[in-house]
Homo-oligomer: A and B are copies of this chain.
């Protein structure tokens, strides 16, 4: 997908706020994170385990923030830098929170529970958070 978004941005008339490939990479990490969060929230719902409401909540929050951020970044016409930056910051925060919470539950899998979805999801959240941080360093203030 990174390639597809990158190619579309490359042939689009708007000037992008940062290099196309970096933008495409971030957007791709954000949409991956969104999908991982939605799939993991559904799997958590099915686990025979109480104490997962905070995790499910953060997964759904993170997916909502990813959705908004990914869509705003795909609009490069008249890119509003302060709003864009705040969203990317929040996306980094939300996915870092989610990565932290999912990691806790991933580690319970030794108890014999199949919580590897939390491990996979934590990794996707961390990649998203890192990509957002790299974009923030490159975006104009």
A103 shortest CB reach to chain B, Å: 15
**List of B residues within 8 angstroms of A78 by Cβ:** 53-54, 57-58
B8 touches A43 (CB 8 A): yes
A12 touches B114 (CB 8 A): yes
Interface residues of A in 1-40 (CB under 8 A from B): 1, 4-5, 7-9, 11-14, 27-28, 31-32, 34-36, 38-40
Interface residues on chain A, number (Cβ under 8 Å) = 62
Q: Is residue A107 contacting chain B, with contact meaning CB distance below 8 A? A: no
The complex is assembled from copies of this chain, and their number is: 4
A42 and B14 alpha carbons, distance in the complex (Å): 9
**List of B residues within 8 angstroms of A61 by Cβ:** 72, 75, 80, 83
Q: Known contacts A5-B35, A72-B61, A117-B12; is A86 also within 8 Å of B77 by CB? A: no
Provide the A100-141 mask, 1 if CB < 8 A to any CB of B, else 0. 000000000000001011001100100000000000000000
Give which listed residue, B35, B64, B74, contacts A39 with CB less than 8 A. Answer: B74
A57 and B75 alpha carbons, distance in the complex (Å): 7
B46 touches A75 (CB 8 A): no
B80 touches A120 (CB 8 A): no
A87 and B60 alpha carbons, distance in the complex (Å): 14
